[in-house]
Structure formats: C-alpha cells, structure tokens
Amino acid sequence: MPTIIQKFGGTSLSDPLRIRRAAQRVADARQSGFDLVVVASAMGAMTDDLIDLAEQVSPMPDRRELDMLLATGEQASVALLAMALREIGCPASSLTGGQAGIRTDGVHGRARITRIECGRLERMISRREVPVVAGFQGTSDDGEVTTLGRGGSDTTAVAIAAVLRVAESGGYCEIFTDVDGVYTADPRLVRAAVKLPRISYEEMLELATLGAGVIHARAVLFGDKYGVPIHVRHSQKPDHGTMISRENPDMEELAVVGCALKDDLGRVSIRQIKNAVGLQGRIFTALAHANIVVDDIMQTEQGSATMIAFTVDHADLSDSKQIVAKMLQEMGEGEMSVEVGLSKVSVVGVGMKSHAGVASRMFRALGEAGVAIHNITTSEIKISCIIDSAKGQQSLEAVHSTFGLGLGTNATMAMQLDSSQP
C-alpha cells in the first residue's frame, strides 16, 4: 500500500471536537490499508498568541528563545492528536521535529530544512504505528530548536513525503485546511473566486510566493523537486480539493489561472552610493545569508550616485534594515530610507508564455479601478504591480474580474483567448 502524509492546519485542530475529527480521518485512512505519517500545526491562533505573549515580555524577543516558545504550539497539538488516535484504537505517537529527524540550518525564525534522518519514522511505519510529527520545527546540527517561518508546517509535510519517496509507490501528501482547495484568488478577499481542480507546481509556487497563503511556497518547491503530488482539501469535507502536480492539461490554454495579493511589504532604499563593482553582490549576499527572500529590486543611476531599492515581507523588514545599516556604516557612504504600507498584486499563468496582451490588460484594469502602480516586475509566468496597501482588495478584485477568473474554466478560456489577441 502507498504511504500518504496527512497535514492538518491550525484551524482544523482548533478545538477538541476538531482534533477528534482529524483523528478519525487518520484512523479511517489507516483502516483502509494506507501507511501514514501525520503532520500537525499548532491549534487555532496559538502561534499568534504565543508571539503576542513574547512581545509583552520583550518587544523584540530574542530569536532563539522565540523559537523555543513557538515550537511548544505544535508540540501541544501533536500530543493531543496522538491521544485522540489512541483513544479510538489507532496506534500513534507524537514526535517533535527533532525527534522525527528534521534537521535545519541555524537561522532562527526562518530556518531551512537541510536533511531528514527518517529511520525513526520508517521504523514506526513498518510497525503500522502512526507518527504524529510537529510541523514548522526542526533542530540544527548543534541541537538548537528552530522554526521554518510562518505557515511552515506544509513544508514539513511535503519534505517528509519527499524523503520517504511516497510518490514511487503511488503515495502523495494531503494538506487539510479550512478551504475546499486552491481558488483563483483568496476566497476571503474575492467572493467571485472559484476552486481550481488542479494547478501546476510552477503556477502554485508563484501564487504562494506572491501571497496565496493557502500553502507554504517551500512546500511547493519540495513537491516539484521530488515529484510529490500535493492534494489541498477541506478537513471537514470528503470532497476532492485541488491537485498540485506536473500535469495540467486542462489549463494550458489559459493565460491567467489565478491572482494573489501580498500585503504588508516594506521597501528599503539605499541612496547616495557609488556603483562600485560588486556592490549589489555584497548587499544581497548579506540578506541571503539571513534567509531573507527579497521581492523586487530596483536600481537607478543619477549622475555618479546610484539608488538601489528592494521590497521584503514586513516580518523581514527589521532584520533587513539592520543588515543594510551595518553595511553602509562599514562602507562609510550611502543613506537608507524605509517605506511601509505597500502591497503587491499579481497574476499568474503558464499560458502567459504564449499569450500576448496580459500585462496591458492588467494595467488597464488597475487604472480603471483608480489604482496607481509604483513598480512592475514580470517573469515568464507572472506580472506583479506594487500598489498602496489601502487599494489592495480593490486591485485584486479588479484583476480577478478583468481575466474572467470567476466564470469557470471554459468561459474563462473563451474570454481570455478572445481578448488577449494582439
């Protein structure tokens, strides 16, 4: 029988009833003969509550201590889930990330998984005992507890699926959450959004990176790299959700499959600096060493002075500022300024590679909605615009509507083909 990995998100484990329902779902799958590994997030808003608590004790909590604290959220839920499983006769034991063999680098708060020593998981599976693994956490080589960044339990689940090579025996990874699957836009922001039955890794990676919080971007990266099919589905319903995989035949003709909004971006600008050879490498290497993912990069020249600006998630702003400030001090030149209140609205689709007119249509829709565009970035399969956060939802609705994304696949396809001809 194939091995499947079942990951339960915070809202799916927010109270004892939901924990018992999740346990029943796991027990049913085991009863049907599947080998299983379960990954759980912290209950409900536990991670937010723990961060609040930390900030009441220390406004800028020490990173190591914050990881120690946040890791307890997932430890509580795996223990409860394992108890609920045992209660209904399903052999199960909870494991911390470290006990499950999840090894990471040492960057607290946004650690990356470096390897998984999966002997203990394999031994439990061979005894038909269900490992219930705490998501979002691991240990570094020197034994420190680390966390993977907000939403990181998805990545724990797909990484385990990858090392256990579940796909080779027809297995996959199920992400149980509080929506029916991946929608054309966040259904909380765009009422007309519709569920996509399937989406390619490439498109899902872009959407997740650009703000679709339904799955952690690094989970999609692992899925793509190791060929793990990922099924995003509702934890309280039996219905099929969205399959994220390499195959995406239905969608090939669509220029745009979905759109996303990333709120709360900060922009760091460096002015009055000489464009010395190696300058950019120096700045962005220092940010990369801190695992900071930089969004957009802009550079302009004014006489002999250069201006370099980049956007980052708000959560990474304070570290980015410190890194840049230290560097400018060492170089003895340059001025730094920081802006907040920016958002990014994006459209994504592999079909963009072969359809013209997508960008112009997006810009027109934003213009008609009265939204000013502060910067534009594109790749082969996405177009993103930086806008004021106050216009975020309005922008998302405008681009969703202009590409007919709420109309269902066939109507959307007809509309996009019809009006994206040059």
Give the footprint of ligand ASP on this chain (CB under 6 A): 9-10, 41-42, 47, 73, 135-136, 150-154
Q: To the nearest whole angstrom, how small is the minimum distance from the Cβ of residue 146 to Mg ion?
A: 18
Number of other CB atoms surrounding residue 405 within 10 Å:
28
10 vs 266, which CB is nearer to ligand ASP? 10
Residue range at the interface with Mg ion (CB under 5 A); choices 1-9, 23-31, 335-343, 391-399: 1-9
Dihedral of CA atoms 400, 404, 407, 409 in degrees, nearest 10, equals -100
C-beta of 226: minimal distance to ligand ADP in Å?
21
278: which residues sit within 8 A by CB, 6+ positions away?
Answer: none
Measured from the CB atom, the residue of 157 and 358 that comes closer to Mg ion is: 157
Find tokens 């090392």 and name the residue.
163
Tell me the pairing of strands 335-348 and 305-313: unpaired
Residue 206 main-chain phi, psi, to 5 deg:
-65, -50
- CB nearer to ligand ADP: give 72 or 280: 72
In the complex with ligand ASP, the residue whose CB is nearer, 215 or 413, is 215
Q: Which does 115 bind (CB under 5 to 8 A by kind): ligand ADP, Mg ion, ligand ASP, none?
A: none
Closest distance between ligand ASP and the C-beta of residue 215, in Å? 10
Give min distance, CB of 318 to ligand ADP, in A: 23
Does the footprint of Mg ion cover residue 73 (CB under 5 A)?
no
The 3 state secondary structure assigned to 50-109 is HHHHHHHHCCCCCHHHHHHHHHHHHHHHHHHHHHHHHHCCCCEEEECCCCCCEEECCCCC
Q: Give the C-alpha separation, 145 to 234, whole Å.
A: 31
Torsion sign over Cα 404, 407, 409, 411? negative
Cβ 263 to ligand ASP shortest distance, Å? 16
Q: How far apart are CA 318 and CA 242, in angstroms?
A: 36
The residues in 4-33 that bind Mg ion, with binding defined as CB under 5 A, are 9
Q: Which partner in ligand ADP, Mg ion, ligand ASP, none is near 47 (CB below 5 to 8 A by kind)?
A: ligand ASP
CB-nearer residue toward ligand ASP: 136 or 201: 136
Q: Which residue's structure tokens are 């002997």?
A: 119
Residue 224 contact partner, candidates Mg ion, ligand ADP, ligand ASP, none, CB within 5 to 8 A by sort of partner: none
CB of 365 to Mg ion, least distance (A): 29
Instruction: List contacts with ligand ADP (CB under 6 A).
Output: 9-12, 41, 151, 177-179, 182-183, 185-188, 212-214, 258
Determine how many CB atoms are found less than 10 A away from the CB of residue 380.
Answer: 9
Residue number with the smallest Cβ distance to ligand ASP: 153
**Beta pairing, strands 92-95 & 130-134:** parallel
Minimum CB distance to Mg ion smaller for 98 or for 151: 151
Cα–Cα distance for residue pair 135/156, rounded to 1 Å: 5
Q: Where on the chain is the footprint of Mg ion (CB under 5 A)?
A: 9, 151
